[in-house]
Amino acid sequence: MFFVTFTVIFIGSHALYYNPELYVPKYHDFIESQTNLTRDLFNGYDPTVSPVYSKIDPLQPLGYDPDAPKRYNYSIMLYSLKLVEVNEPAEKVAVVMEIMEYWYDIRLSWNASLYDDIDTFYTRQSNVWSPTLSAFGADELVDLRDPDFRMVCVNSNGYIYDYISVRVSSSCPMNVYKFPFDYQTCQIKFCLPIFNSVEIQIFNEIYVGVLMSDLWETMGNSEWKLTNLSNRVETLQYNDGFGNLDLGIFEITIKRNPLYYIYMIIFPSFIINVVSIIGVFLKGADKMSRLNVGLTNIMTMTFILGVMADKIPRTGTIPMLGVYIIVNLAIMIIAIGIVTMITELRHWLAPFLKRNETKFSRKLETFIGPPLEFTCAIILEVFTCAIFGVMIGFWLGDDK
């Protein structure tokens, strides 16, 4: 009952009950003018119909009709970005983006001097027409705002803006050839579906504050660091010109922090290989225990290779870390081969060397044995250190 009475009074006179002890007169005037303004603006306004000029032939060149308005403007501005997840095997990148979008609606423009100089007001997004921002080529777009509480700001030029917070998961082809010293470049694309690019022009920009260097640090995660962020607009072109679409593209370049792989894979492999080579060539050890050392090492390397395989897409390229482990594996196999061969060689050569003894053959006989093993061990150790050095060099050289 009270509600009905209240409504009747409200609609009938637009009189606001106003207590001068609580509110200053200026505030009262403002509310009354704003009420008048929104009443006039929304009178006959249909938020489900777009203001986009549609009398355009998509097959004609842009601007063929000099009297037609310019293409409808729609802009997105990136405020903040946060890398959430990089999934290398699936070649996907997920980011959370804070974006401001703005556009114009000529039906919501007014002469501010007629309404007490009110230049802007705020309203629920459902009251005005809004373009539907979509992610292009993304497999997931989650709008993190509650649909019931989305607000927009409208100003007297008919300029409308709002703020959106989305999580986008976009596919991103990964080049893991330099893994774990790799960079990846991923694009997050936005479009306005169903509007042709002759009707709507998309602008995208990055808020200048974001481009200041110290903000970069916070945008990656513990494994990936953001090294570049750029924006551009591309038009998806088709030969017939009919399905052309403007795409607003944000491109991120991320760089992996290789430290984890250095102390989890590269350094342990190096130590294991150095020790195993000593073990395999150990003087006086019997053949079986030398072989055991070698086989244990090979199993360890294979296991490490498996750990790495979980982090890379299943493409044909062998990443640098894989090459490193495979070379280590090869060194171990060569070590086992040499040890086995030297004992066989001595058995096989002994009769010949015994038969015609010369100074040279006696020297040869002593050499094929511990001195040869020692030489091979040194060569293989040097080689192991060299490839470890190359990996460390890559790491340090890349850090600059």
Q: For binding to ligand NAG (CB under 6 A), which residues are involved?
A: 29, 32-33, 36, 70, 73, 104, 111, 113-114, 116, 228, 230, 251, 355-356, 358
- Separation CA 52–CA 69 (nearest Å): 10
Residue nearest ligand NAG by beta-carbon distance? 356
- H or E stretch including 387? helix 370-398
Nearer to ligand NAG, 104 or 163 (CB): 104
Secondary structure of 335-381 as H, E, C letters: HHHHHHHHHHHHHHHHHHHHHCCCHHHHHHHHHCCHHHHHHHHHHHH
Minimum CB separation of residue 80 from ligand NAG in Å reads 18
Nearest to 212 by CA among 100, 80, 400: 80
Nearer to ligand NAG, 222 or 358 (CB): 358
Minimum CB separation of residue 26 from ligand NAG in Å reads 12
Nearer to ligand NAG, 73 or 315 (CB): 73
Minimum CB separation of residue 255 from ligand NAG in Å reads 11
- Separation CA 253–CA 159 (nearest Å): 33
Nearer to ligand NAG, 33 or 165 (CB): 33
Nearer to ligand NAG, 126 or 230 (CB): 230
Report how far Cα 66 is from the mean position of its chain's Cα atoms: 42
Minimum CB separation of residue 160 from ligand NAG in Å reads 12
- Separation CA 111–CA 369 (nearest Å): 101
- Separation CA 322–CA 263 (nearest Å): 15
Minimum CB separation of residue 354 from ligand NAG in Å reads 11
Phi, psi (rounded to 5 degrees) for 353: -70, -35
Minimum CB separation of residue 33 from ligand NAG in Å reads 4
Backbone Cα Rg of the chain: 36
Nearer to ligand NAG, 116 or 381 (CB): 116
What burial class does residue 113 get, using C-beta atoms within 10 Å of its C-beta: 0-12 exposed, 13-18 middle, 19+ buried? Answer: exposed
